[in-house]
Structure 1
């Protein structure tokens, strides 16, 4: 089963918040089997359900452990919506 996940990360840090966002994205891009697409508003992750969810959750946990506070806004959509996104 495939899944599409849309994420927005908002570290509540005074400085270097962009560094934490890009590190999060880079770690997800390093996972074989995931397609990670970014834009100015969010990051989309496409792939196998179990693979995508487990890695996204692990990376969210890492951000929460590394920062004083961070907000994630997430949408989980069953199916691979990457082609739909590309056609828009």
Structure 2
């Protein structure tokens, strides 16, 4: 099953940009299709791969940076942007 995910990450610290950049970098390294923008990051892939990547990312974030809020929307199916 294919999954589309929209993720917003809010590290609870004054210097929030480095953690946000690292989260996006780690998502991109996961092998999933990742489209970052100013407000959120869209992630696309097989259900288990997306959920495994999100679980590992959240654990790493909490262990590395401490408190943070993750806001996630899931939609079953392929909602990748159509180019053209």
Q: Distance in 2 between matches of 1:67 and 1:31?
A: 20
Match of 2:36 in 1: 38
What is the aligned-residue RMSD (CA, Å)? 1.2
Runs of 4+ in 1 over 2 A off after TM superposition: none
The count of residues paired between Structure 1 and Structure 2 equals: 83
CA distance in 2, matches of 1:9, 1:61: 13
Cα distance in 2, alignment partners of residues 86 and 63 from structure 1: 31
Identify the residue that residue 7 of structure 2 maps to in structure 1. 7
Unaligned runs of 5+ in 2: none
- Unpaired runs of at least 5, structure 1: none
